[in-house]
Amino acid sequence: MKHVMTPFLMTKIIATVGPSCSTPAVIEEMILAGARGFRINFSHGSFSEFDSLLESIREASRKTGIPAAVIGDLPGPKIRIGTVSGQGILLREDMQVVFTKQAGKEETIVEPKNHRVILSVNYPLFVDEVKRGQRVLIDDGNVILQCTGIGGSGDDRQVTCKVIEGGMISSHKGVNLPDTDLALPALTEKDVTCLSYAVRKKFDFIALSFVRSGKDLAALKQKMTEMGVRHGKGSHTPASAITGARTKADLPALMPVIAKIEKPQAVHHLDGILKETDLVMVARGDLGVEMDLAEVAVLQKQIITACHRHGIPVIVATQMLQSMIEASTPTRAEVSDVANAILDGADAVMLSGETAVGKWPVEAVKMMNRIAVRTNDYIRAGFFENPLMAEAMPRTNRSDALAHGVKTIVKDLKIKMIIVWSRGDGAIALSQYHIPCPILAFNADTQRLIHMSLLNGLTPLFMKQPASGSQFIREVDGMLVKNKWARTHDPVIFVMGEPVDKTDAINRVVVHFVGEAME
């Protein structure tokens, strides 16, 4: 596949790492192809394997000189069935499946004469919380059961279900309970262990799985505060978490949190979640299992619009180029899916199995980048503007209002690019207006640059702190010409604070023509 490298990526690409892309050489190719974030899924693998993947990502990022964010994805409280003998069991329609409270009983019991199977699960309260008439889904909804009865008490309590849609089940397959309110904790013991590892290894982002409400995120952030990577309640905004703005100079940089929306409860409590999170991921896998599959496309648009209303960056994930796990090219429907996520206003799109275990990890990134570039060219040419996005964007402070003004200037003057020096929320404010124009975000803090690498339109670039705004403009002006990013007389916009090291907000917008003399 022929690939043309683009210097400024608008929509960012996140790739899940795994056996197919575990070496620095492959990850380097993926970065050059357009990947700007790498997800390590703590549900699969050991800490020694994570060590190796982490070093490969960082080595490839150092070699290319391109900031690449590392995301640690916590497993979350996933319910799974116990051990199933042999190659698995075929559950047929109308068969009985009994779940017992004896969670320690790992081996599945099959009673052919009674057309009954007895299963255990890794969550002892399962039999107390599932109610008659509620659905029990196994293996991503491939097998559907319905609770028909509850019997016994204490350790002998059990839940009886009828098979509605049958299929093969094997050991430790996941269980979804879309109709049941669970008392599962937001953080399991394994989550805390993985979080501690991520903090120790200085991951850039942490993702929380199976979020149900803002309380789940508050619990995670409290634990992170105890570990020294959050500032505590009320001391930051989502923007400052991503850009690394500090309330006190001696505090460590924040580790932004990504809320994965994949449960019905999360959709119902979305506003509360958006008040607690720094980024959102529309995790369509479990979302499509626990809710009507036909609703997922509309929910994606609704979630993205809500994120824009709160100024929260949003990632769309799961099965975007699923056929490329085996095939070297995607289906036409998958191409349309990626393009539509971008048209909806996604900041980033994510690859999962396509890069982690697929045969074509580099080609998958190249293809996703090709789709993103063509779609963003279409947007920039003025053929498409998302009216929901324009209405949803907040204008609640100076940075938001200035960003809105910059968007108008870009359209009126056909601006080539936006250049920002921001130590606070200026960069994310510009990004969240989805201005169809590259934004060069300069900073002297490498951690902040990495945090900005997932934001729409932003290209993070290192520069030592300039002495003044005029010096900043002169230095960048020369860089634009030297690197052939712009030509003499091209119009660009500089956005910064005055003085240039102002920490709280941007307050200066300069329309500049490349090569123009500075006083």
Quick one: 505 and 440 in the same domain?
yes
From 108, 277, 318, 375, active-site residue? 318
Quick one: 220 and 140 in the same domain?
no
Quick one: 164 and 278 in the same domain?
no
- Give residue for tokens 């003025």: 382
Residue 253 is given by DSSP the state P
Distance of CA 275 to the CA centre of its chain: 17
Quick one: 219 and 342 in the same domain?
yes
Domain boundary among 154, 176, 198: 176
**Cβ atoms of 195 and 187 closer than 8 Å:** yes
How many domains in the chain? 3
Active-site residue, 396 included = no
From 36, 39, 223, 246, active-site residue? 39
In a domain, 181, yes or no: no
Nearest to 430 by CA among 459, 397, 403, 395: 403
**Cβ atoms of 429 and 239 closer than 8 Å:** yes
Per the DSSP assignment, residues forming a β-bridge with 206 are 72, 257
State how far the Cα of 339 lies from the Cα of 353, in Å rounded to an integer.
19
Burial class (CB in 10 A: 0-12, 13-18, 19+), 465: middle
Active-site residue, 39 included = yes
From 63, 80, 202, 309, active-site residue? 80
Pairing of strands 508-513, 491-496: antiparallel
We report the CATH number of the domain holding residue 449 as 3.40.1380.20
- Give residue for tokens 């509605």: 164
Nearest to 494 by CA among 428, 409, 398: 409
Q: Which tokens go with 321?
A: 């180029």
Alpha-carbon distances, residue 184 vs 79, 145, 188, 226 (angstroms): 10, 21, 8, 22
pLDDT, one tens digit for every residue, the chain (519 residues): 333 345 799 999 999 999 999 999 999 999 999 999 999 999 999 999 999 999 999 999 999 999 999 999 999 988 988 888 778 889 999 999 999 876 445 556 766 656 788 888 888 889 999 999 999 999 989 999 999 999 888 878 899 999 999 999 988 899 999 999 888 888 999 999 999 999 999 999 999 999 999 999 999 999 999 999 997 654 444 555 665 544 333 334 589 999 999 999 999 999 999 999 999 999 999 899 989 899 999 999 999 999 998 889 999 999 999 999 999 999 999 999 999 999 999 999 999 999 999 999 999 999 999 999 999 999 988 777 776 665 556 666 777 888 889 999 998 999 999 999 876 567 888 998 899 899 999 988 888 899 999 999 999 999 998 988 899 999 999 999 999 999 999 999 999 887 876 655 677 899 999 998 766
Quick one: 147 and 288 in the same domain?
no
State how far the Cα of 379 lies from the Cα of 362, in Å rounded to an integer.
26
Helix (H, G, I), strand (E, B) or coil at 16: strand
Sign of CA dihedral 419, 424, 427, 430: negative
Supply the range of the domain harboring residue 446.
Answer: 394-513
State how far the Cα of 110 lies from the Cα of 108, in Å rounded to an integer.
7
State how far the Cα of 144 lies from the Cα of 141, in Å rounded to an integer.
6
From 260, 284, 370, 423, active-site residue? 260
Quick one: 451 and 479 in the same domain?
yes
State how far the Cα of 36 lies from the Cα of 53, in Å rounded to an integer.
15
